[in-house]
Structure 1
Amino acid sequence: MTTAAARSTARPDASGRVWFVTGASRGLGRVFAEAALDRGDRVVGVARDVTPLDDLVAAHDGRLVAFPLDVADRAAVMAGVERAVAAFGRLDVVVNNAGGFLYGMLEEATEEQVRAHLDVNLLGALWVFQAVVPHLREQGSGHILQVTSMGSTGGFATVGLYGAGKAALDSISEAMAMEVADFGVKVTIVQPGGYETGLFTQGTTATAENEAYAPLRARMAEMWSEGVDAAPEKAAPAVMEVVDMAEPPRRLILGGLAYDQAVQLLRARLDEHARWEALSRTAD
């Protein structure tokens, strides 16, 4: 089906969907929850701290249910998804959005920091997937949005562990999509560029700096400072359009600059493969 046809063919359940959004208290999670509510949908929003959602809960007359949930706790996720299903009787759109940011060189990261980071950014998304799939399979429908990052297309100094977690989530999301396709469940990997989400302030853990990396750290900090983060509200219309598609994309980059950067990285990788093709073929 062409893109135009996919856009024009809304799902039968295009109104009154039930959303389950992790990391819903700020940034993209909150924006997606607000956009869903504005459409008349119902939302279960979870985060470690859901007090920032109090205003939305009060304003939407029972259509938003919010409760605390740490996605790194698998047992809590299983119980939380059961609570979410009980709230509105079903789940239609699952937004796997919760995440944090670990900033620093790989050598600097402690074992505790690495495990805590991947427990949220990678395993947390897996636990949510494991918890929601039985419900989506039983109802024969559903759409899982796996929020990763355009940065998952390549590794960069100072953000290597963040990129690694997102790249791993990209990979297992491809497997997820294959595993649930026969049950009528869709998976879209959503890869945002830079947005003003608070990820780099409230959501950041930093390593203890090793002076040996000071010159590289300064160069990377200068490179990161050149970017201009967009308002997260800019991302909502594209995501709302995707959930209305009968045949949504497997991957969606959010943002024009992010799209250009991701394509540039992919082309550079293809060029490198081509440069060494003859050597690769000697290994048959």
Structure 2
Amino acid sequence: MPKTWFITGASKGFGLEWAEAALERGDQVAVTSRSASAFDDLVAKYGDAVLPLRLDVADRAAAFEAVQEAVDEFGGLDVVINNAGYGLFGMTEEVTEQQAREQIDVNLFGALWVTQAVLPHLRARGSGHIIQVSSIGGVVSLPGLGLYHASKFALEGFTASLAAEVKDFGIKVTLVEPAGYATGWAGPSAVQAQHLPAYDDFRAAMTRISARRGDPSATRAAILTLVDTEQPPLRIFFGAGPLDMVTKEYQARLDEWRKWDDVSKLAFGA
């Protein structure tokens, strides 16, 4: 049975790939971007199956208006994907107040506002699937991306709570945690803090996880499988490598907690 989607940040990258995948199989899609004209090609190809919407996800009132417009146009929503976001690159000391606030506004609050806007509609239908596009950076942290990690760790935290809160309403919730893909996230879409010379040596010595980047189009089959699954997972990685990385990260955390367990218990009076 055809589904109706609402996808933020759909003018490029994952959002565009997933919108096209849905449309190609006969679904309806409300696509959002800061410029609705970004979807002219989609509208020309798929006609009334596409609803282009201009939306700055950091604007809560605008998020509610866009969701209502999509519901009015299509009669309801089945899949909601909070994909809008970007990376802020800079050491913690380098990031300005405005850069920090804008990163959280888009990556965290943008997803929160859209989620709040769709919940009454999904509850009324007794169904729906909310997909939050997180990142491997929502599970592990690297230097030079602290505020980006903060936004994604926070997204993971509220989404885990959300999943428990709405389960009894028939609403499914999933965190998609992609590895590195050639989406422009680290290129044209990124924001760079001004470099402080004090970190130049450290920056030069930094090693990247991998120079390899996945093909965003390869995620089409995966996202369709996910939305068609009767019991989707709360968390799923997209890409090769994240499971090994996270296994090492969590083992290191457990080892450190165990090493300091005596002090932990001392703090409790044990």
Cα distance in structure 2, aligned partners of 1:271 and 1:50: 50
Q: 194-203 or 262-271, which moves further after superposition?
A: 262-271
The structural deviation recorded for 1:280 is 2.1
The structural deviation recorded for 1:230 is 0.7
Match of 1:183 among 169, 182, 185: 169
Q: Tell me the equivalent position of 1:10.
A: none
TM-score by length of 2: 0.95
Q: 195-204 or 98-107, which moves further after superposition?
A: 195-204
Q: Tell me the equivalent position of 1:25.
A: 11
Q: Tell me the equivalent position of 1:66.
A: 52
| Number of aligned residues | 268
Secondary structure at 1:106's aligned position in 2? coil
Unaligned runs of 5+ in 1: 1-14
1:177-216 to 2 correspondence within 5 Å? 177-216=163-202
1:44-59 to 2 correspondence within 5 Å? 44-59=30-45
Q: 126-135 or 226-235, which moves further after superposition?
A: 226-235
1:29-40 to 2 correspondence within 5 Å? 29-40=15-26
Assess if the C-alpha contact under 8 Å between 1:142 and 1:184 holds in 2. Answer: yes
The structural deviation recorded for 1:162 is 0.5
1:119-138 to 2 correspondence within 5 Å? 119-138=105-124
The answer as to 2:83 corresponding to 1:97 is: yes
Distance 1:26 1:237, change over 3 A: same
Deviations 1:218-251 (A, max 9, x none): 122x425x42111101122122111111111010
Secondary structure at 2:93's aligned position in 1? helix
Assess if the C-alpha contact under 8 Å between 1:194 and 1:258 holds in 2. Answer: no
Cα distance in structure 2, aligned partners of 1:57 and 1:262: 40
The structural deviation recorded for 1:217 is 1.3
The residue identity in structure 2 corresponding to 1:32 is: W
Match of 1:256 among 212, 237, 240: 240
Cα distance in structure 2, aligned partners of 1:235 and 1:258: 15
Cα distance in structure 1, aligned partners of 2:13 and 2:242: 17
Q: Tell me the equivalent position of 1:223.
A: 208
Cα distance in structure 1, aligned partners of 2:72 and 2:47: 17
Secondary structure at 1:72's aligned position in 2? coil
Assess if the C-alpha contact under 8 Å between 1:19 and 1:94 holds in 2. Answer: yes
Cα distance in structure 2, aligned partners of 1:37 and 1:268: 43
The residue identity in structure 2 corresponding to 1:17 is: K
Match of 2:154 among 153, 168, 175: 168
The structural deviation recorded for 1:265 is 1.5
RMSD: 1.3
The structural deviation recorded for 1:192 is 0.5
Match of 2:228 among 226, 241, 244: 244
Cα distance in structure 1, aligned partners of 2:163 and 2:227: 15
The residue identity in structure 1 corresponding to 2:39 is: L
The residue identity in structure 1 corresponding to 2:177 is: Q
Q: Tell me the equivalent position of 1:269.
A: 253
Cα distance in structure 2, aligned partners of 1:75 and 1:202: 28
Deviations 1:190-215 (A, max 9, x none): 10111111111221111111100001
Deviations 1:231-276 (A, max 9, x none): 1011221221111111110100111212222222222212222222
The residue identity in structure 2 corresponding to 1:223 is: R
The structural deviation recorded for 1:142 is 0.2
Q: Tell me the equivalent position of 1:278.
A: 262
The structural deviation recorded for 1:146 is 0.5
Higher relative CO (Cα under 8 Å, sequence separation at least 6) belongs to: 1
- Report % sequence identity: 46
Q: Tell me the equivalent position of 1:233.
A: 217
